[in-house]
Amino acid sequence: MKKIFLLSLMSAFLFVACKKDKDETEESNPGVTNPSSEYKLIEKDTTDNDLIVELYAENETLEMGYTPVYVKVENLNGDLVENAMVSFMPMMDMGMMQHTTPTVQPIYNSTSGYYEGVIVFVMSSSQGAWDIEIMVDGEAATMDLNVLGAPAGEKHVGSYVGTNGDSYFVSIVKPLDWSVGMNDVSFMVHKRESMMSFPVVEGLTIAMDPQMTSMGHGSPNNISPVSVGDGFYEGEVNFTMTGDWRLNLDLIDAGDTIVNANIDVLF
Amino acid sequence: MKNLILLGLFLFALGSVFSQEDTLRAPQNFTEIIIQGQSKESKDKTAEQLQESTDKLMSTIPAVTLIKRGNFALEPTIRGLNAGQITTTIDGMQMFGACTDRMDPISSYIEPTNLEKIQLNTSPNAEQTGSTVGGGINFSLMKAQLNAPKKMSGKLGAGYQTNANNIQTLGTFQYSTKRWALLVNGIYRKADNYFAADRREILFSQFEKWNAGANLVVALDDHNRISLDYIQDEGYDIGYPALTMDVAFAKAYISAFTHTYKNKSRKLRSIESKFYFNYIDHAMDDTKRPAEMVPMHMDMPGTSRTFGMYSKAKYVVNPNHMLNFQINAFQNDLHAEMTMYPDTGSEMYMLTIPDGQRRTYGLTVSDAWLINYKLKATFGGRIEMNQSDITTEFGRQTLTSFYVGEAAQSRFSGNVFAQMNYKLSKKVWFYGGLNYAQRPPSLQEVYGFYLFNRLDNHDYLGNPDIENESSISGNLGANLKYEKFAISMEVFANSFSNYIIGIVLPEYSNMTIGADGVKQFDNIESALLVGGELTLKWDPIEVLTVQSVNSYTYGTDEVGGYLPYIPPFKSVNFIKYHYKGWGLRLEYVGALAQNNVSTARYGEGTTPAFNLLNVAVQKRFDLKNDKSLHAEFGIDNIFDTPYYEHLDVLKIQRQGLNFVFRTTFVF
């Protein structure tokens, strides 16, 4: 009898041990960095110098906001073209006017074989027609793009007119991979100089205040993002629970709050 | 009906001179309430007490006061100490409530039908199976009796109380042979909303529950026995008028396997080993509340799982020394979650106890030493290791919200105790004791995440860096027992360092809608509790008994402010006339006002004094073959006095006038 009980106790211990193992395997497989083979093809085009240019993204569809994109260049034999001169220029055609959007120009990654850059889509295709011109060694490939809005209840980029009259664009850096608790978070800030130029804004101070809007509470211990160069701002955000979170971001320049931005996320 | 409880407090005074058996007896600061005694005289009392609630029985023990949140599941405190400061065990088994709002103290999963007795220790000693700074309550389970006078015996009872339309039916049945015996028991209780004075209905105070237990005892030989226990307790639709939510269900499954060895002729007198497992499944519910009372619908389920063992041995070194050894180990896993459903927007999910786990290993050694025929010393100590951790990734992530560092931690705690008893004469005893004790913070106090406390309307955060709470305590007592008159009195002082309490975090925003802010469990430098109990018993003539139980506690924090959860002076008195199977009892219960509160710091308000009168008539009908029928009629709160007690959360009025009918058949 005693033995049976001991056995059941031991098996209970084993059960606990197994559970732990499972957690650890989950931990070692975070799924943050997608292998390059999992990039999804968005569009392709062939340039006049017979290069096949393919545009990839993390997902099959493009969404408003910060969007990492991957350009693959092959010749007609299917060989990868490395270290070409690659740049891109997305354009929004709203009929009355045309403008570009903030970008991080592509840089070749010899490990993945892709030219990796970022496009911050500040509008969706419902507001006009998006296309992109990708220049490879002086020749252009052109593609139409379909950009969806953010998922319901979310907002990943916002445009604001600052108190100084300039237009600012604040976007949250993706991929978004949230868990309850403390999370690394980064943002990009751009401004519009002209329809064709959206340079980064560095050196601002940002005050961040996350709010759970449906309950009216915030969270403690957040670290407001600080400028780390190239228009990026890095901080830490504390999500005490899952649900709809609004990140209130005050952009402060020389002591004056010039923009009250907000980003909405849901997880 | 109400407490015709002959306090076990006097039992120790029965012996007139120390004998060897005295070494075997528990030290002072030990009170027992016998619920189902094996002796014949206790039959009336048993029939009566089986019909009471566990809460009611606890409320009559000196030094015990209950925190009330509804008409069900009151939480015991001992001399101003509660929750993690005291140990609450069932037959020595550790068990921990699953509810984050403390709706389910483990006493709520036990019914008098399960119990042989309730044991109270007011200071650390060798009886407990955990670290404590304030003693503990143990619910000792009723065991089947081998070789009982009757092969088959039992009790059947039914009761009705008018105030809350409260019905209950219960039964116990025992089958006994020389080699084995089986005991089964069950109870069903259901109540609607109760009514305070002036027929003011207290909404959401209903409850329904059933409880069934079984115990099998098998004698392997003259010295070895095994015992199997199983209890299942399920409560449904339990209202908590003092809280924002009710309970959909609260279920407990309690099981134990016990082996006992006893041999009176050997130095190794006894070994008792128990292996146990218990599980609590608890779910809060706000769907019965009117919509305007519920700012947001939430689901808040929680579970608690504990398994463990203890082994206790008594070793008689020589007639003057008896050693007690105890090892124990247990593991508790707590999970509490919350899903919130806003009218607009997405649902939210969080862990409020982020899958905390604790493993405890302890060793207790004590010696009872008869120094001479007048003086006896009991001394010893306990060392305990606690390993706490969070077992899931989600839980560990949650902890990063308020703590930077490892979730896992190990702590040592323990106590040393010494108690002296001096017998001045056959009728007068004195005793005194000194203890140093430490207790680890509970899992809630380490890992809790926005636990809402209705008393001070704050959300509480755990604190992994919190220090063990420690105390130096002393007690002095005297017992006088004459033929017709007995007095028992004890005073105590308990001086704490690193007393654990919630400290406001001003920068934090509360999570609970409508709360006033956030507190974090933290240590304050010191706290002091002093007080005492006085019990008088007087039999002026043979058919008359007068008893008075009085308790008082006074508590201050490190700045001299008053501590919360400190009961004021309370007195429970009765006079009973008993003659030829008839009993007439008049009971007076009263408490002084509690004005010693720190409203700003702890959120407590003052409480006025109250005086209550209860009366009951009992009659025993003796039937053939040693069977009997017990009938009872009582009136509680005769004058329909409006009142509440100081530890009642939200100061919701207690029950007004109530008529009680009970009948128990004993066979």
- State whether residue B197 is helix, strand or coil: helix
Number of domains comprising chain A: 2
For B389, name the nearest residue in chain A, comparing CA atoms only: A20
Domain C-terminal end among A148, A177, A210: A148
Domain C-terminal end among A148, A168, A185: A148
**Closest Cα to residue B348, out of B337, B339, B360, B357?**
B339
Specify if B3 maps to a domain: no
My answer on whether A75 and A114 are in the same domain is yes
**Rounded to a whole number, what is the distance in Å from the CA of B280 to chain A's nearest CA?**
16
My answer on whether A62 and A131 are in the same domain is yes
Out of A8, A20, A238, the one facing B401 most closely (by C-beta) is: A238
Specify if B48 maps to a domain: yes
CATH number reported for the structural domain that contains residue B641 in this entry: 2.40.170.20
| Mean local confidence (pLDDT), A198-207 | 96
Residue with token string 């070749």:
A108
DSSP type of residue B426:
S
Per-residue model confidence as pLDDT tens digits over B516-566 = 999 999 999 999 999 999 999 999 999 999 999 999 999 999 999 999 999
My answer on whether A176 and A134 are in the same domain is no
CATH number reported for the structural domain that contains residue A118 in this entry: 2.60.40.10
Specify if A124 maps to a domain: yes
Q: What is each CA distance from B314 to B114, B223, B269, B272, B373, in whole angstroms?
A: 26, 14, 5, 9, 21
Q: Which of A184, A215, A223, A245 to mutate to test the interface with B (most CBs of B within 10 A)?
A: A215
CB-CB under 8 Å, A9 with B505: no
| Residue B145 reports pLDDT greater than 60 | yes
Specify if B2 maps to a domain: no
| Residue B358 reports pLDDT greater than 60 | yes
CA dist., res. A79 & res. A77, Å (int): 6
Out of B277, B348, B392, the one facing A243 most closely (by C-beta) is: B348
Residues of B in contact with A213 (CB under 8 A): 345
Contact B431, B476 (CB under 8 A): yes
**Rounded to a whole number, what is the distance in Å from the CA of B530 to chain A's nearest CA?**
38
Per-residue pLDDT at B625: 85
Residues of B in contact with A209 (CB under 8 A): none
* B514 touching A (Cβ < 8 Å): no
Out of B350, B400, B401, the one facing A242 most closely (by C-beta) is: B350
**Rounded to a whole number, what is the distance in Å from the CA of B341 to chain A's nearest CA?**
9
* B232 touching A (Cβ < 8 Å): no
DSSP E strands in B145-206: the ranges are 152-161, 166-176, 180-191, 195-196, 200-201
Of the candidate ranges B125-134, B193-202, B292-301, the one whose mean pLDDT is the lowest: B125-134
**Rounded to a whole number, what is the distance in Å from the CA of A5 to chain B's nearest CA?**
7
Specify if A10 maps to a domain: no
| Residue B469 reports pLDDT greater than 70 | yes
* B276 touching A (Cβ < 8 Å): no
* B311 touching A (Cβ < 8 Å): no
My answer on whether A113 and A194 are in the same domain is no
Contacts of B134 (CB under 8 A, 6+ apart): B78, B79, B81, B85, B86, B122, B123, B471, B494
CB-CB under 8 Å, A20 with B509: no
**Rounded to a whole number, what is the distance in Å from the CA of A53 to chain B's nearest CA?**
40
CB-CB under 8 Å, A220 with B449: no
My answer on whether A171 and A252 are in the same domain is yes
ipTM of the complex as predicted: 0.86
Give the mean pLDDT of chain A.
Answer: 88
Residue with token string 């209780």:
B189
**Rounded to a whole number, what is the distance in Å from the CA of B395 to chain A's nearest CA?**
9
Residue A95 backbone zone (phi > 0: left; psi -120 to 50: alpha; other: beta)? left
Per-residue model confidence as pLDDT tens digits over B112-138 = 999 999 999 998 887 877 888 988 999
* B372 touching A (Cβ < 8 Å): no
CB-CB under 8 Å, A9 with B348: no
**Rounded to a whole number, what is the distance in Å from the CA of A180 to chain B's nearest CA?**
5
CB-CB under 8 Å, A215 with B511: yes
Out of A6, A20, A266, the one facing B346 most closely (by C-beta) is: A266
Specify if A179 maps to a domain: yes
Give B33: exposed, middle or buried? Use CB within 10 Å, 0-12, 13-18, 19+. buried
CB-CB under 8 Å, B307 with A220: no
Domain extent, residue A249, equals 157-266
Specify if A194 maps to a domain: yes
My answer on whether A163 and A87 are in the same domain is no
* B20 touching A (Cβ < 8 Å): no
Specify if A2 maps to a domain: no
DSSP E strands in B101-151: the ranges are 115-121, 136-141
Residues of A in contact with B333 (CB under 8 A): 16
My answer on whether A88 and A164 are in the same domain is no
Contact B247, B208 (CB under 8 A): no
Residues of A in contact with B277 (CB under 8 A): 8-9, 12
User: pTM (2 decimals)?
Assistant: 0.89
CA dist., res. B53 & res. B161, Å (int): 12
Q: What percent of chain B has pLDDT over 90?
A: 84
**Rounded to a whole number, what is the distance in Å from the CA of B121 to chain A's nearest CA?**
30
Contact B357, B388 (CB under 8 A): yes
Out of B226, B391, B450, the one facing A20 most closely (by C-beta) is: B391
Q: What is each CA distance from B419 to A6, B204, B432, B495, in whole angstroms?
A: 37, 46, 6, 17
Out of B349, B507, B509, the one facing A242 most closely (by C-beta) is: B349
Q: Is the dihedral of CA A150, A152, A156, A160 positive or negative?
A: positive
Give the mean pLDDT of chain B.
Answer: 91
* B509 touching A (Cβ < 8 Å): yes
Per-residue model confidence as pLDDT tens digits over A66-88 = 999 999 999 999 899 998 999 99
Give B130: exposed, middle or buried? Use CB within 10 Å, 0-12, 13-18, 19+. buried
CA dist., res. B249 & res. B326, Å (int): 36
My answer on whether A88 and A192 are in the same domain is no
Per-residue pLDDT at B9: 30
Q: What is the DSSP string of A46-71?
A: E-TTSEEEEEEESSSSEESEEEEEEE
Specify if A95 maps to a domain: yes
How many CB pairs below 8 Å do chains A and B form together?
Answer: 108
Per-residue model confidence as pLDDT tens digits over B383-398 = 999 999 999 999 999 9
DSSP type of residue B653:
-
* B397 touching A (Cβ < 8 Å): yes
Contact B478, B487 (CB under 8 A): yes
As given in the structure block, the two tokens for residue B621 are 């009908």
Read off the pLDDT band of B335 (50, 70, 90): very high
Residues of A in contact with B279 (CB under 8 A): none
Read off the pLDDT band of A40 (50, 70, 90): very high
Pairing of strands A40-46, A86-93: unpaired
Per-residue pLDDT at B612: 96
Number of domains comprising chain B: 1
Contacts of B415 (CB under 8 A, 6+ apart): B124, B131, B132, B381, B382, B435, B436, B437, B438
Per-residue model confidence as pLDDT tens digits over B8-40 = 333 333 333 344 444 444 445 678 888 887 665
As given in the structure block, the two tokens for residue B239 are 């209202």
**Rounded to a whole number, what is the distance in Å from the CA of B113 to chain A's nearest CA?**
26
Q: By a Cβ cutoff of 8 Å, what residues of chain A touch chain B?
A: 1-2, 5-6, 8-9, 12, 16, 19-20, 23, 26-27, 153, 179-182, 212-221, 238-244, 266
Q: What is the DSSP string of B70-114?
A: SSS--EEEETTB-GGGSEEEETTEE-----TTS---GGGG--GGG
Domain extent, residue B558, equals 8-666
CB-CB under 8 Å, B296 with A266: no
Specify if A11 maps to a domain: no
Of the candidate ranges A189-198, B44-53, B144-153, B439-448, the one whose mean pLDDT is the lowest: B44-53
Per-residue model confidence as pLDDT tens digits over B360-418 = 999 999 999 999 989 999 999 999 999 999 999 999 999 999 999 999 999 999 999 99
Contact A120, A128 (CB under 8 A): no
As given in the structure block, the two tokens for residue B56 are 């009611």
Residues of A in contact with B347 (CB under 8 A): 242-243
My answer on whether A137 and A229 are in the same domain is no
Of the candidate ranges A16-25, B148-157, B574-583, the one whose mean pLDDT is the lowest: A16-25
Specify if A58 maps to a domain: yes
Contact B631, B662 (CB under 8 A): yes
Contact B459, B350 (CB under 8 A): no
**Rounded to a whole number, what is the distance in Å from the CA of B63 to chain A's nearest CA?**
37
Per-residue pLDDT at A27: 38
Q: What distance, in Å, lies between the first and last C-alpha atoms of chain B?
A: 20
My answer on whether A187 and A123 are in the same domain is no
Domain C-terminal end among A119, A148, A177: A148
As given in the structure block, the two tokens for residue B232 are 């299942």
Per-residue pLDDT at B34: 86
